[in-house]
Amino acid sequence: MSAAITPVARRDNAGLYRRRRITNAVAIVMACAAALFGLAFLGWILWTLLAKGLAHLNLALLTQDQPPPLEAGGLRNAIVGSLMMCGMGVLVGAPLGIAAGTWLAEYGQHGKLGTTVRFVNDILLSAPSIVLGLFVYAAFIMQTGGNFSAFGGALALAFIVLPVVVRTTDEMLRLVPVQMREAALSLGVPQWKVTMQVLYRSALPGIITGILLAIARISGETAPLLFTAFGNEFFSLDPTGAMSALPLVIYKFAGSGYENWEQLAWSGALLVTLFVLAISLAARAILLRNKITHD
């Protein structure tokens, strides 16, 4: 027979329960206050960006090139330059990242080399972008005669894309049930065909999401392009020469003191924000569609 609970023990339990409820309520209030504090500043930033950038968002912004001070113009050269360098960076970084992530998930998952590669990839993932830009400047730009180029900018952006895609591909492939591998291998299907036709099909939405998030990350990078692409006031499609980009123009125009340049900087910042928002929504849509399909 269990001993009866004494009045003193009952009071102690009631007091402990009351203290826990108070502690829980205080923690919830503090968490909500911190969330509201962050959302208030985010809303303030977005409102300022919309108020200053939306007023000058017009067709001329997309069809005219960077103007001299106090004259009308647009950001066509910067927009095209950003698209070219981001595209080349993804074309270089994404295939290498998928290949490296596949090796980590399928062949180097338990080995010492795989552990080392994951550790190095984590370091690269958290490395400041300006350090990557300086590395490309020393290893590529200086070795090619010190000529700034869009190729150099794309290479710096590829170093930012690479660790994101490696991590995403590794995680997505490891989430594929092992029974799918075993079922395919038991039928005599070669390992490479299992990877291409079974694993990639299952992990494809997650891998695409990782690539989209990498694109969103590099679209606003300024520091690595300062050391590599350098910028160009004129429209150019030559990847071997200096090329403009939206982040570079925003960096240059924001503190220029010229009203028309500052207006273009706000409009360029709004374009980058809208682009990142579109990429993020596309990534969410792909993940949601994949979840609904599996459910």
pLDDT in tens, 231-276: 988 999 999 999 999 999 999 998 888 989 999 999 999 999 999 9
Q: Which alpha helices (H) appear in the chain, and where do they start and end? A: 7-53, 59-63, 76-106, 112-126, 129-136, 150-175, 178-186, 191-194, 200-218, 223-227, 246-254, 259-294
Phi, psi (rounded to 5 degrees) for 68: -70, 170
CATH code of the domain occupying 59-294? 1.10.3720.10
Per-residue confidence (pLDDT) for residue 138, from 0 to 100: 94
Residue 1 pLDDT: 43
In this structure, what token pair is assigned to residue 181?
């591998």
d(CA 100, CA 119): 13
229, 149 Cβ separation under 8 angstroms: yes
Contacts of 77 (CB under 8 A, 6+ apart): 65, 66, 232, 233, 234, 235, 236, 244
Determine contact, residues 180/253, Cβ cutoff 8 Å.
Answer: no
Per-residue confidence at 188, pLDDT binned at 50, 70, 90? confident
pLDDT at 55: 84
Coil vs helix vs strand at 107: coil
3-state secondary structure of 54: helix
The domain spans of the chain are 7-56, 59-294
Mean pLDDT value across residues 4-30: 81
Q: What percent of the chain has pLDDT over 70?
A: 94
Q: What is the C-alpha to C-alpha distance for residues 220 and 9, in angstroms, rounded to an integer?
A: 61
Please compute the mean of the pLDDT values over residues 153-157 and round it to a whole number.
96
pLDDT, tens digit, for every residue of 97-144? 999 999 999 888 778 888 899 999 999 998 999 999 999 999 999 998
Looking at residue 294, its pLDDT comes to: 59
Confidence of residue 25 (pLDDT cuts 50, 70, 90): very high
> In a 3-state reduction of DSSP, which class is residue 243?
strand
Distance CA 33, CA 137 (A): 44
Please give the Cα distance from 259 to 264 (Å, whole number). 9
Nearest alpha-carbon partner for 67 in 242, 244, 264, 225:
264
Look at residue 58 and tell me whether its pLDDT is greater than 50: yes
Return the number of other C-beta atoms located less than 10 Å from residue 5's C-beta. Answer: 10
In this prediction, residues 152-173 reach a mean pLDDT of 95
Under DSSP, is residue 230 helix (H, G, I), strand (E, B) or coil? Answer: strand
Q: What is the pLDDT of residue 13?
A: 77
Residue 108 in tokens: 């180097």
How confident is the prediction for the chain on average, in pLDDT? 89
Closest to 266 (Cα-Cα) out of 44, 41, 64, 55: 55
High-pLDDT (> 90) share of the chain, %: 62
pLDDT of 8 above 70: no
